[in-house]
A and B are shown apart, each in its own frame.
Chain A
Amino acid sequence: MPELGKYAVAVYGSYISTLVLMAALVVFVVWRNAKARRTLEQIEGVKKHG
């Protein structure tokens, strides 16, 4: 690990908050897509049987 010196708070803070936000964004987008896919498959499945 590189030595961050007196600026550790700033660098860690930036990276951690970025990772958290980015992870949240990715999870949100992927989850939304998965939900949409499930809903759609359900509807299309219903249509095929009915």
Chain B
Amino acid sequence: MSLWQYANPVKFLNLSGKVLPALSVLTVICLVTGLYWGYFVTPDDYKQGSTVKIIYIHVPSALIAINAWFMMLVAALIWLIRRHHVSALAAKAASHVGVVMTLIALITGAFWGQPMWGTWWAWDPRLTSFLILFLFYLGYIALWSAIEDPDTAADLTSVLCIVGSVFAVLSRYAVNFWNQGLHQGATLSLDKEENISDVFYFPLLFCIAGFVLLFLVLTLVGTRAEIRNRRARALVARERG
């Protein structure tokens, strides 16, 4: 028994089909609990007022936005090294979720920044990095859709993903150097004591879990769609032959 056996498309379809219903239910539970708790139960922050409620979507979506790209990077490496088709297709599916999450993080950030900083947009390092990440997502998705041959597309997007990751890190550093910003530090960190208070913390954890699950569910469904498309393509190619 090896983990790699699930890289077989058929096995992947079977397994993901079994897991998906339970996973979807869990996603809904987590999201509803977290958002209800956060929106209706928690008090306003003494400094930020009711805008603190935005944290329940802003932070999880930003988290997913970055980690989706990270997952795509890992998937790209797996595809290039081990040539498992599911890996490349999962990266494609994840990019669709990632780009929307990036957009959500940007939009909620703008809504939050307007009352807090007095501006919808600032060329703050974090905001700028996310904007650049958004552009990377767009380029990646555009490259996928521009190439007809699926294996060529997988190869090229994988290389782009790896090169893009290096440049994304470089951009992050460059942007930091370019402008010291308004944005506060990371909301959640393991090594610091002064995290946000527990009142906001627990519903936020639920929301993060919900977003992570949502990302998983959507990526799985998307990967299933890609596998089916590839299978249909392979069958048509065989019929024609």
Contacts and interface: CB of A to CB of B under 8 A. Distances in A.
A touches B (Cβ under 8 A): yes
A5 B50 contact: yes
B112 interface: yes
Contacts of B236: 43
A26 B236 CA distance: 28
Interface residues of A, number: 35
A8 B51 CA distance: 8
B115 interface: yes
Contacts of A40: 228-229, 231-232, 235
B65 interface: no
Interface string A19-30: 001101110111
B54 interface: yes
Interface stretch (B102-110, B146-154, B180-188, B198-206): B102-110
Interface in A7-33: 7-11, 13-15, 17-18, 21-22, 24-26, 28-30, 32-33
A47 B40 CA distance: 55
Interface residues of B, number: 37
A26 B211 CA distance: 13
Interface of B: 39-40, 44, 49-51, 53-54, 57-58, 61, 93, 96-97, 100, 103-104, 107-108, 111-112, 114-115, 214, 218, 221-222, 224-226, 228-229, 231-232, 235-236, 239
5 contacts: A14-B108, A29-B218, A39-B232, A43-B235, A47-B239
Interface of A: 1-11, 13-15, 17-18, 21-22, 24-26, 28-30, 32-33, 35-37, 39-40, 43-44, 46-47
